[in-house]
Chain A
Amino acid sequence: MSLIALFKSGVFLDLYFVKNNRANLVSFLLWPYLMLILMLGAGFLFGSTQSFRSNVGEDVDPIVFFVSSTLIASASLSVMWDVGGAVLLHRWAGTLPYVLLAPYRTSIILVMAYIPRYILWSFIQLAEFLPPLILRKGVDALIIDLPILSVSLIVGMLPLLGFSAIFASILLVTKEESNILSWLNPIILILSGAFYPSYLFPLWARVISQALPTTHTFELARLSALMSAPGVREVILIIGILLGMSALYNALSYTMLGKAEERALGSGSI
C-alpha cells in the first residue's frame, strides 16, 4: 500500500459519500449560510455596524468578517473532528485495529486519508462564499481577499493537523469512547476568537488563545475583512507563526501518536 493509494482512498471515500448522501451534501452547503444568517440577522437586530466596528476596534466590513470567520471555523472544525476524532470514529465502527495494524503509522494514515477531504470541502465552501465577498468588496476581492483566504485555509491546516493528532493520541491512550470532542471543539473555537476576537477576552483567555493555531488562522483570514488593503508584513508575520507552530505541533504529534500506537499494540487492548 503506497502513500498515493492512501490519498486515493481519501478521494474516493468522499466522492462516494457525497454520491450516496445527497441530503448530507445539501445540508453541508446550507450550514455556513445558516450560521451567517443567524449571526448577521441577530446582530443587526440587537445592534449596528457602528457598534460592531467600535467593538472590534478596526475599520472592517462585518459581513466579510463573518464570512472569513465562518469559513475558517468550518475548516478548523473539520480538521479537529476528522483527524482528532478519527480514533473515536474507528473505535465505534470497529475498524481501529485495522488502522493500527496497517503498515503505515496511524498519524500518516489519519493525515493522508484526510487531506483530500479537507482540500475538496474547504475550497467548495470558499467558492460558495464568493458571491457575498464580491458583492461587498467588488471584483477586487478576487485579487486580494481570495488569495488571503486560500493561504489561510492551506497554511492554517498545517499546524492544526498536528494539533488534532495530539488529541487523537490522547484518545487512543485513554481508550475514551464518549464524544468529548463535541465539548472540546467549541471551547477551542471560542478561545481562538472564532466569532468574537480573542484580544477582547481577559488575560488568562488571551494566553491560552495564543497557543492555539486556530487563533492565528482566524487573524490571517480576517485581514480580508479590512476596508483598506492588509499590510504584507502582517500577512508574512502570521504565516511565519503558523509555520513555526506547524513544525512544533507536527513533531509533537508524530512522537505522541507513535508512542500511543505502540502502547495500544503492546497492551493488546485496542
Chain B
Amino acid sequence: MWVLLLILGVLLFVPRSQLPYALKSAYWTIACWSVISSFSSIVGGWTNFFISLGMVEEHMLRGISPFLVISGRLVVASLVSVVTIIFMGALVQSLFSIPLFDIRPEIALFSFTLVSVESLLYSLLVSAISMRSSISEQFLEILNFAVIGILIVPISVIPEGLRIFYLSIPYVAPAYILKVASGSEVPDLLIIATAISIIEAIAFLLIALLAVRAAESHIRRNGARAIGFY
C-alpha cells in the first residue's frame, strides 16, 4: 500500500492518453514488489520474534532447524500478499475506472510462484546472516525500497544490448514475466526471462542452504546474536 501511494505520484507525469497502460504496468510492478516485501517483513518479523523468545536455541536442542520453522511463513506471506494485491487492485480500479485484472492467469501464476520462491529464499538468507551479524533493519528497508525503483523501469527504455543483463538483476525477470501477463510489456524476452528466473531461484536455494548451514554451525558454537531483522 505504501508503494502505491508513491506510484500515484509518478502517474501524474504520464499523459492522460497513456494512463491505462502506465497504470497497469505500475500496478503489476507493485503487486510483484508487495510479494517480495511481504516475504521479507513476515520472515524477518518471525526471525526477530524467534530470537527474542530464545526459540532458536530451543529448537536446535531438539534437533529441529529454526530455519525450517521460519520457512513455514510461506503460507502466511502468500496469504497476506494475495489479500494485499486484490484489495489494492480493487481500490485502484475504483479510483481510476481502469480494468487491472484483465491478464493471462497462467503466466501471472507462474511469475508469482517464481517471485515467491526467490523472496522466501532471500529472506531465509538474510535471516541466517542476521543470526550471526548485526544488520540494521533500516538499511535492509532501504535496499528493499531500491528494488521497486529497479522493477518499475520498462524494458523498452533499456538499450537492447543491456536487456539480458537487466533481466539478470534478482527479481527483475519474474517482474517482467508478470508485466507480460498483464499486457504491459512485449513478450519478446519471455523465454529468456523464464530461464533466468529458474536459474536465479536455484542459485538463491544453494546460497540460502549454505548460509543456513553456516549459521546453524555458528549458533551451535557461539549462540544466536539477539539482533535479527524486521
Residues on A facing B (Cβ under 8 Å): 23-24, 26-27, 30, 34-35, 37-39, 41-49, 51-52, 54-56, 62, 66, 69, 73, 182-183, 186-187, 189-190, 194-196, 201-202, 204-205
Contacts and interface: CB of A to CB of B under 8 A. Distances in A.
B5 A195 contact: yes
B12 A23 contact: no
B9 A43 contact: yes
A38 B22 contact: no
A205 B8 CA distance: 15
Contacts of B95: 190, 201-202, 205
Contacts of A45: 152-153, 157
B51 to A, nearest CB: 16
Given A23-B138, A35-B6, A190-B8, A46 B14 contact: yes
B16 A69 contact: no
B139 A27 contact: yes
- Binding site secondary structure of chain B: helix
Contacts of B153: 45
Contacts of A187: 1, 91
B11 to A, nearest CB: 7
A62 B7 CA distance: 15
Interface stretch (B59-67, B142-150, B168-176, B216-224): B142-150
B73 to A, nearest CB: 16
Contacts of B15: 47-48, 51, 54
A181 to B, nearest CB: 11
Nearest to A49: B13
Given A183-B1, A190-B5, A54 B16 contact: yes
B2 interface: yes
Contacts of B12: 43, 47, 51-52, 55-56, 62, 195-196
- Binding site secondary structure of chain A: helix
A206 to B, nearest CB: 11
A45 B11 CA distance: 11
28 contacts: A23-B139, A27-B139, A27-B141, A27-B142, A34-B145, A37-B149, A39-B6, A42-B10, A42-B152, A43-B9, A43-B12, A46-B13, A46-B14, A47-B22, A51-B12, A51-B13, A51-B15, A52-B13, A66-B9, A69-B9, A186-B2, A190-B1, A194-B5, A194-B8, A195-B9, A196-B8, A196-B12, A204-B94
B136 interface: yes
Contacts of A195: 5-6, 8-9, 12
Interface of B: 1-2, 4-16, 18, 22, 91, 94-95, 97, 136, 138-139, 141-142, 145, 148-149, 152-153, 157
Most chain A C-beta atoms within 10 Å of own C-beta, residue among B10, B14, B95, B136 = B10
A24 B138 contact: yes
Most chain A C-beta atoms within 10 Å of own C-beta, residue among B11, B13, B136 = B13
B149 A41 contact: yes
Given A52-B12, A186-B4, A196-B12, 8 more contacts: A23-B139, A34-B145, A38-B149, A45-B157, A47-B12, A55-B12, A62-B12, A201-B95
B10 A26 contact: no
A26 B142 CA distance: 11
Nearest to A183: B1
B148 to A, nearest CB: 7
A130 to B, nearest CB: 21
B10 A43 contact: yes
B166 to A, nearest CB: 14
A186 B157 contact: no
Contacts of B8: 190, 194-196
A54 B15 CA distance: 8
Contacts of B6: 35, 38-39, 195
Give the 5 A-B residue pairs with the shortest CB-CB distance, closest first.
A195-B9, A47-B13, A27-B138, A43-B13, A196-B8
B9 to A, nearest CB: 3
Given A34-B142, A183-B1, A23 B14 contact: no
B131 to A, nearest CB: 19
A205 B5 CA distance: 15
Contacts of B4: 186, 190
A201 B84 CA distance: 21
A46 B148 contact: no
A56 B14 CA distance: 11
A144 B160 CA distance: 47
B14 A47 contact: yes
